[in-house]
Structure 1
Amino acid sequence: MKPILIFSTANLGVSIVNTTFLGYILFTYTTFLGWDTGIILIGVALLVGRLVDALVNPIVGSASDNLRSRWGRRKPFILTGVGPLIVLFILIWNPPIWLGVNAVIIYLFITIPLFDAIFTYVVVPYYALLPEIAVTSEERVRLSMWGNIFALFGTALGFLLAPILFYNLSYLWGSIILGIMVFGTILVVIHPSIKEREEFQKIERVSFMRAFKESLKNKPYQIYLVNQIAIQFAFRVLSAGMVFVATSVIGLAFDQSVIVMTGYFVGSLASFYFWKYLASKIGRKKAYIYSMMIFTIPLAAIWLLLVIKGMAAIIFGIIISLVAGVGTGGMWIFPPIFVADIVDEEEQKKGLRREAIFYGMQEMTEKITISIAIFFEALILGMFFLYSIPDPANPGAFLNFYNPIGPLLTIGGLGLIAMIIGLLSFRKFPDKLAGKRV
């Protein structure tokens, strides 16, 4: 149990970084720059950065798979990358506003690709440890469950703590505090109890191009990637869009937007054991499909906020978040296990062991998907922008307001369509890899 808890602790830090970035980068930079510079331009900067990073993912995965050292194939990447990751995380939230709009845009185009690349350098080898630490199906479910419990707390800290720190202290001190937390939690993964399997270092090395092509030929992995592209798109527009829903639709202040997201974390945390139990009864594939169905419900129901107002809107927003959280619990637990099973099957058939390239390619597709999601979200919000006013709590920054249709269309339009695609695509995933019993 000790290795599981130590491995899962690192997921806390990973989630703090990822959630804070994806949840608030678009909102934050529109407050830095004001709307007259164009949210679409900010969206393009984020899109370019994430696309560049997407190309790095499979390269890092292949390099980690082929590394042979006395410290293993994964830990050297984590140890050497966590420091630069924290530095870049702090830099992203503190652009040189005093140099003007053009300088901030250039700053975005430089810091975001670097941040994303270093994040990949650390995270892909970290996730590739999962099939080595947990060998049996039961162990993998347990590890994934605990990893996601810690990830949920990291997501909560990113969603709930970040705006409070940024708004009540400053972006500088807020990012430093979060950065220290991330550094300490990720670094624990180098603990001696986290042992890589020595026999895997003796398996044949595979060139990057061969590994890339072989992975794309894997039929179950193709189905898995299509599904992940769809649900990651839906999840990202929800996570990034809820702050706009809270402020422009429900009418809460930025630092009060955390109220709406409270239900999300309660629902996710409460559902983990439920999904583990359900998988033991009906299999992981069916349980995963049910989790996606539940997540789809609030994406459609969010349109009711057009007619629900006042305190009722706040309560309804919390309920929507609660239901989305229950669905997210299953959507977080099962996918890493599916990848681990795909890796095992390929080793049995071809004698190749390539955990990191599979996780790296997944990260690549997710980064491209997230980039597209952010771009379209920025595009739609730009179409429904109303006005800006100076932010009294942050001199030089702005508070932006939108027609409620904009934030709702990103979640209840784009997100809903993506989830339907994700549901339909995963029906073809082979049952033998989805685990009839845990």
Structure 2
Amino acid sequence: MADATPSQSAPRDLAVPLERKVPTRVKFAFGFGAIAFGIKDNGFSLLLLIYYNQVIGVPAAIVGAAVLIALVMDAFIDPIVGHFSDNLRTRWGRRHPFIYLSAIPAGLFFLLLWNPPEASNTGMFFYIFGIAFLVRATMSCFEVPMAALGPELTSEYHERTRIFGLRFFFGWLGGATMLLFTFAVLLAPTPEYPNGQLNPAGYSDYAIIASVIMSSVILLSALGTHSEIKYLPKVERVKMTLGQTFRGIFGSLSNRAFLILMLGGLCAYVSQGISFGLLTYFITYYWQLDSTALAWYIFVLMFGILGAVLGSTWLSRRVGKPRAAMLCLLLAVALQPIPYIARTIGFFPENGDPMLLPSILVFLAIGTGGLVASLILKSSMLTDVIEDDAEKTGRRSEGLFFAGQFFLQKCVSGAGVFISAAILTAAAFPDQAVPGEVADTVLRDLALIYVALIMILGSAAAYFMNRFPINEDDHHARIARMRGLTETT
């Protein structure tokens, strides 16, 4: 289908997005901004805990609690941003003013997160909590409006999967490339720090580079999608108080499709949070690999993510989005635990064996790719829920629904960091540990708890995704009814 022009627009009385292929440059601009999200998210998931715990010496429980509380509190910012974004009316549309205004503060607060003052453990708790909250809150002003822009660009069923696939790809590409550079260059081994990931100077350089990139890509993404404002649905302003907005989020749980999607997402995001929260610990202490191995892991992982972006649309065309999401999750459940189970029973290369790293990479990269593919499909499925709600209520509430998704995602990703810290505490993992000197029983307990949790969570997520009730035929029939092309039954 050719790109739509103003003369080809569909009737606008029901504010239905154009059914079209989005121009390639706009799709890339929409996805490009997610680089900032990827850098921020990977920084929180993979670096923050080990930096404050093993480099600075703050107890893991304090770091985990500070991040959890900050993320849970920040999650309440998302509905506020979604509320104002849905109801803002400017010559720059509903979404872009928030995106432009978020760029500089997001980078500045991220820089401060990695440059803490000298303080007691109590002081560190409040510093981590406060700055982490500000990073997340300013990023919400970008994430929620930009995600809400996605379903407004097109109502074409599979095109939405493609544009959200690009968003996930750039998010992972940005986060992974920044991590690759960080581990390969900034945290490379030195005579003073043979385990480069324990070098404090590297984190300071990381913060400067990452913050500049984050602010830049947010601005470029806003500029690259600015031309689409004139094609977006023109909707009437709905007067709602913030209290009504919060009640609307929780009331949306009465929508069976949204409830199922959020339950599946809850399990998947917690599993992802635990996996990333412990990854650096496993690489450094369990497998006893250096930062070069982490760089290789990130490099290979990108092939898994590219496969997720391409495979999610291909698979959903053949078996539908819900079943495709379930199959991708089962792939992750089957492959991610294998290295740890095989090591426990004595059927995996020993530490120092040349085959160790390639063996780990195969299972973790493909397994993580399966998890990412399921999350791409989940975002695309959420746009189907939004159309279902629009038909029933007569309101377009993309910001509200994506705020609800981010509300859940942030709560459970915070839970992932907190659970990671709790697992370390339960396994009696020492602070400022030396690789090679952690007791085998501690490492074994750490691995077994991790494997049990991700298998349970992944299986539960697959179950919920497969029960999602909206398919492609439902979507096309709904769009036709909303455009007045068929009789409403």
Does the pair score TM above 0.5? yes
Say if 2:436 is the partner of 1:415.
Answer: no
Return 5+ residue gaps in structure 1 as ranges. Answer: 392-397
Say if 2:454 is the partner of 1:377.
Answer: no
- The partner residue of 2:221 within 189, 194, 199 is 189
Write the letter of the residue equivalent to 2:459.
Answer: I
Q: 1:329 to 1:422 in 2, by over 3 A?
A: closer
Q: Distance in 2 between matches of 1:134 and 1:399?
A: 54
Deviation per CA, 1:379-410, whole angstroms, max 9, x where unpaired?
1112334545689xxxxxx9995732254245
Q: For 1:144-223, what aligned pairs fall within 5 Å after superposition?
A: 144-164=164-184, 166-168=186-188, 170-191=202-223, 192-195=226-229, 197=231, 199-210=233-244, 211-223=248-260
Q: 1:203 to 1:136 in 2, by over 3 A?
A: farther
Mapped contact 2:45–2:276 kept (Cα < 8 A): yes
Q: Distance in 2 between matches of 1:78 and 1:409?
A: 42
Shift of 1:260: 3.2
Mapped contact 1:203–1:352 kept (Cα < 8 A): no
Shift of 1:347: 1.2
Write the letter of the residue equivalent to 1:46.
Answer: V
Say if 2:266 is the partner of 1:229.
Answer: yes
Shift of 1:166: 4.5
Q: For 1:359-370, what aligned pairs fall within 5 Å after superposition?
A: 359-370=402-413
Q: Distance in 2 between matches of 1:187 and 1:164?
A: 28
Q: Distance in 1 between matches of 2:73 and 2:433?
A: 34
Look up the SS of the partner of 2:326 in the other structure: helix
Q: 1:436 to 1:399 in 2, by over 3 A?
A: farther
Mapped contact 1:298–1:323 kept (Cα < 8 A): yes
Write the letter of the residue equivalent to 2:395.
Answer: L
Q: Distance in 1 between matches of 2:424 and 2:250?
A: 38
Q: 1:255 to 1:401 in 2, by over 3 A?
A: farther
Q: Distance in 2 between matches of 1:176 and 1:7?
A: 24
Deviation per CA, 1:298-339, whole angstroms, max 9, x where unpaired?
333132233321323322211122221330342232112111
Q: Distance in 2 between matches of 1:386 and 1:13?
A: 32
Write the letter of the residue equivalent to 1:186.
Answer: I
Q: For 1:347-358, what aligned pairs fall within 5 Å after superposition?
A: 347-358=390-401
Shift of 1:31: 2.0
The structure that has the greater radius of gyration is 2
Deviation per CA, 1:221-259, whole angstroms, max 9, x where unpaired?
011110100000111111221111111111112454233
- The partner residue of 2:162 within 142, 148, 161 is 142
Q: Distance in 2 between matches of 1:345 and 1:267?
A: 32
Q: 1:113 to 1:436 in 2, by over 3 A?
A: closer
Deviation per CA, 1:157-176, whole angstroms, max 9, x where unpaired?
24323334542553222211
Q: 1:408 to 1:200 in 2, by over 3 A?
A: farther
Q: Distance in 2 between matches of 1:157 and 1:279?
A: 28
TM-score, normalization: structure 2?
Answer: 0.81
Q: Distance in 1 between matches of 2:220 and 2:290?
A: 36
Shift of 1:27: 1.1
Q: Distance in 2 between matches of 1:42 and 1:399?
A: 24
TM-score, normalization: structure 1?
Answer: 0.90
Q: Distance in 2 between matches of 1:220 and 1:164?
A: 43
Which residue of 2 is the match for residue 394 of structure 1?
none
Q: Distance in 2 between matches of 1:96 and 1:166?
A: 21
Greater share of residues in helix: 1
- The partner residue of 2:289 within 237, 243, 252 is 252
Mapped contact 2:106–2:214 kept (Cα < 8 A): no
Which residue of 1 is the match for residue 341 of structure 2?
303
Shift of 1:42: 1.6
Q: Distance in 2 between matches of 1:196 and 1:359?
A: 22
Which residue of 2 is the match for residue 73 of structure 1?
94
Look up the SS of the partner of 1:69 in the other structure: coil
Mapped contact 2:331–2:367 kept (Cα < 8 A): yes
Q: Distance in 2 between matches of 1:362 and 1:300?
A: 27
Tell which deviates more after alignment, 261-270 or 412-421: 261-270
Q: Distance in 1 between matches of 2:186 and 2:409?
A: 27
Return 5+ residue gaps in structure 2 as ranges. Answer: 1-23, 189-200, 477-489
Instruction: Note the aligned Cα RMSD (angstroms).
Output: 2.5
Count of residues in Structure 1 that have an aligned counterpart in Structure 2: 428
Which residue of 2 is the match for residue 333 of structure 1?
376
Q: 1:32 to 1:190 in 2, by over 3 A?
A: same
Q: Percent identity?
A: 21
